[in-house]
Structure 1
Amino acid sequence: MPGVAHLCGHDLHTAIGVGVARALAQGSEPIRGRLVFVFQPAEEPLQGARAMLETGLVQRLAPREFYALHCSPFPCGTIGVSPGYGLPGLDHIRIVLPDGDDAAVAALTAEMAQLGNVGFPQSIAEYNARFRALLEPALAASIQESVCVAQWTEQAPDGQPIVNVLLRVWPQERHAELRAQVKRLAAAAGGTVEFPGDPFPAMVNSAELSTAAGRFLSAELGPESVVWARASWPFNCEDFALFLNEAPGAQFYLGVADAQTGMNGAPHTPDFAADERAIGHGVRAMSSLLIDRLAAGKNP
């Protein structure tokens, strides 16, 4: 459709995955162990990993470790590592209020908004600034616990207003506390609360494996090639979380931005653009890391 695009960088992700597979298959040294490449669909609606796991294939393969790579607005030539952190969990809550009470709807949505301590960036500059904040210990400390709130209203068939609330929550242990708060606020407004499902889990990178990977890549590619994130990125969720529930591992943030040419590298923004040189950097980084991890595991 003209004027419509999925601006996330999944074409780069796929190219890097294929590139890593080819580089390892064509390398001069034999691969001592087993690697499985997972090309995960439907990651953003949080459906792809679950569908793949439901086939049972991943469980039969029983991987020891999982690794993933995603585009980011870090500079091209860098890769972000976030030991012990990752991306938030997601909770969908529906609140049904008395029919026709617009004041109650307005008051409740205002109270729901107060549950959040971070908002969605309103500009590319703010988006990039918040991403860079993950690298600054003092700034990252301010979002060690983060809640991002999104809301919309609809009407039930009988005309009652429904307030839908999405909570992106880090750490995921806060879900129970936040659900209790929502129940109290809804009851005070004369509403009833529905939870369509359990909260989707946060994506938590293994602190041990992330640190080991960051140190290895620093030695392999140069210390300037690795940036260390000190908090969770609070606005997006990721169903790679489900793979990390099967085995420990990490998702890395591949820098694809180039300030000189105006390529912002910020996924899900209207003028997303990526420096394609990042493909080669991603292939080199992941190929060398996977060879190292196979050697460390002494796979048969």
Structure 2
Amino acid sequence: MFKKLFFTILFFIAANISIYPQTNSITKEILDAALANFDSLVSIRRDLHQYPELAGNEINTSKKIRDYLTKLGLEVKPEIGGHGIVAILKGNKPGQTIAWRADIDAFKDDSPDNVSFASKISGVRHICGHDIHTTIGLGIAKVLSSLKDEISGTIVFIFQPAEETFSGAYKMIDDGIFNEIKPEAIFGLHVTPLPTGTISVKENEMYPASKEISITLNGKNNLDSAADECITILQSFNIVKDEKKFFDISTLGDPQLGVISPNSIYANYVVVTNARKEESENGIVVKARVLASTEENHTTVINQLEEKLNSAQWKDCVKAISVVQKHENVFNDPKLTAAAVNIIKNGFGERVLIPLYGMNPFNNDDFAVFQKQIPGVYFFIGASDFAKGMIAMPHTPNFVADENCIEKGVSYFSFLLQQYSSTK
């Protein structure tokens, strides 16, 4: 579904990536371990893919994760925030505590699953790649548990349920996930249509935040007219470059306008959707969802809204304005991101990293909720092989992930955690 030019450019990128690290004994150990475990990890991924479970119902998925981690000798804490799992790996050297998070739930989808290990659960698929995320997390735990002498401090593995409903992270926090042990940094990833072997990341916002604005109107005259004007005011806050292309999901991969372009139309925006008026016992309530690339944009919208309402002829009809956070934004701590990028460059070379400039407005991730508690970095990992027709675009009917991304993910991020654990 992406433009042919995008395929051509990314295919060129993939063909020119050197996946071999600079000479480093620990990097070689990690690469060898990732490769040695690859076949078994693929088997795990395919089993998870065949038996997907929806958010809040990850019973068997959770058991499989728990059993695997227990066999590794990790300290395992089950049923956190529902069917979440926390596993603790203690290194043989003193150091800080850091965390790796993977989401585990699947999604409702009736489209054909065009792989030999297709879902056996009717209407449910791993169409967002959480089976890959889970497998990479297990692979990292496997590799690092065999290298305890090289681990400083403690690594906490978080296998989170209910990401698709944006509730699992909240539930794990409410259930006390960080009461006994609170990491100093947290890392995670998501598969993307980028070529297998690549990673993309940037400082600050990775996904936008969304808020719902409600304006309560009450009075004797012209409430409908005032409500219509409220909707017009809200819609005036849209900041979108080239609206037609912006809302075409294929533009995300456009080499000139998409998220990997310095001129990305997804770098700075405000999108107001579903502006409407509803009757209530208190009069009329005007509501809208506001999606903004930065918190500053949200603040500007709210301030300008208040100014316009206060200057309206019907300002006395405005009884209340409320702003409710719907989804937090995934926000990468700048200092931590820079440190992580340098570690990956040192281990695997600069060419595995694709610069990222824009933010996908069509998705989000409740990894953001953990980042409100702990500084964190969220990566995009390439999982597409265009020559084989494998395009890992989440939540699209033809989603297919190249399983070679499992080995790459285990290698890159085992190295990151091992190296970062010893930075203090």
* Aligned 1:1-300 pairs, distance under 5 A: 3=110, 4-5=123-124, 7-27=127-147, 29-96=149-216, 108-118=230-240, 122-129=247-254, 133-137=258-262, 139-140=263-264, 143-151=266-274, 153=276, 155-156=278-279, 162-183=285-306, 188=312, 194-195=321-322, 197-198=324-325, 200-297=327-424
Q: Secondary structure at the match of 1:58?
A: coil
Q: Contact 1:146–1:170 (CA<8 Å) still a contact in 2?
A: yes
Residue type of the alignment partner of 1:263: M
Shift of the 197–213 alpha-carbon distance from structure 1 to 2, 3 Å rule, reads: same
> In structure 1, how many angstroms separate the alpha carbons of the residues matched to 2:364 and 2:292?
9
Q: CA deviation at 1:150?
A: 2.1
Structure 1 or 2: larger strand share? Answer: 2
Q: CA RMSD in A?
A: 3.3
Residue type of the alignment partner of 1:116: N
* Residues 27-56 of structure 1 deviation map (CA, whole Å, 9 limit, x = unaligned): 474533211111222334432222212223
Give aligned-pair identity as a percent: 28
Q: Secondary structure at the match of 1:33?
A: strand
> In structure 2, how many angstroms separate the alpha carbons of the residues matched to 1:167 and 1:285?
36
Q: Contact 2:234–2:275 (CA<8 Å) still a contact in 1?
A: no
* Residues 135-155 of structure 1 deviation map (CA, whole Å, 9 limit, x = unaligned): 322x14x55432222215464
Q: Contact 1:86–1:204 (CA<8 Å) still a contact in 2?
A: yes
* Residues 138-184 of structure 1 deviation map (CA, whole Å, 9 limit, x = unaligned): x14x5543222221546445596654311122221332321233345
Residue type of the alignment partner of 1:85: E
Residue type of the alignment partner of 2:199: I
Residue type of the alignment partner of 2:288: V
* Residues 88-122 of structure 1 deviation map (CA, whole Å, 9 limit, x = unaligned): 22211124568997776666545433322236954
Higher relative contact order (CA 8 A, sep 6+): 1
Shift of the 192–74 alpha-carbon distance from structure 1 to 2, 3 Å rule, reads: farther
> In structure 2, how many angstroms separate the alpha carbons of the residues matched to 1:167 and 1:198?
10
Give me the TM-score of the superposition, normalised by structure 2: 0.60
Residue type of the alignment partner of 2:200: G
Q: Contact 1:148–1:235 (CA<8 Å) still a contact in 2?
A: no
- Tell me the residue number matched to 2:42: none
Q: CA deviation at 1:13?
A: 1.0
Q: Contact 2:251–2:258 (CA<8 Å) still a contact in 1?
A: no
Shift of the 200–261 alpha-carbon distance from structure 1 to 2, 3 Å rule, reads: same
Residue type of the alignment partner of 1:86: M
Q: Contact 2:213–2:322 (CA<8 Å) still a contact in 1?
A: yes
Range moving further from structure 2, 233-242 or 187-196: 187-196
> In structure 1, how many angstroms separate the alpha carbons of the residues matched to 2:173 and 2:362?
25
Shift of the 117–273 alpha-carbon distance from structure 1 to 2, 3 Å rule, reads: farther
> In structure 1, how many angstroms separate the alpha carbons of the residues matched to 2:271 and 2:338?
27
Range moving further from structure 2, 113-122 or 167-176: 113-122
Number of matched pairs: 295
Q: Contact 1:146–1:234 (CA<8 Å) still a contact in 2?
A: no
> In structure 1, how many angstroms separate the alpha carbons of the residues matched to 2:252 and 2:124?
19
Shift of the 205–234 alpha-carbon distance from structure 1 to 2, 3 Å rule, reads: same
Shift of the 173–294 alpha-carbon distance from structure 1 to 2, 3 Å rule, reads: same
Q: Secondary structure at the match of 1:24?
A: helix
Instruction: Specify the structure having the higher radius of gyration (Cα).
Output: 2
> In structure 1, how many angstroms separate the alpha carbons of the residues matched to 2:164 and 2:255?
20
- Unpaired stretches in structure 2, ≥5 consecutive residues: 1-107, 111-122
Q: CA deviation at 1:124?
A: 4.4
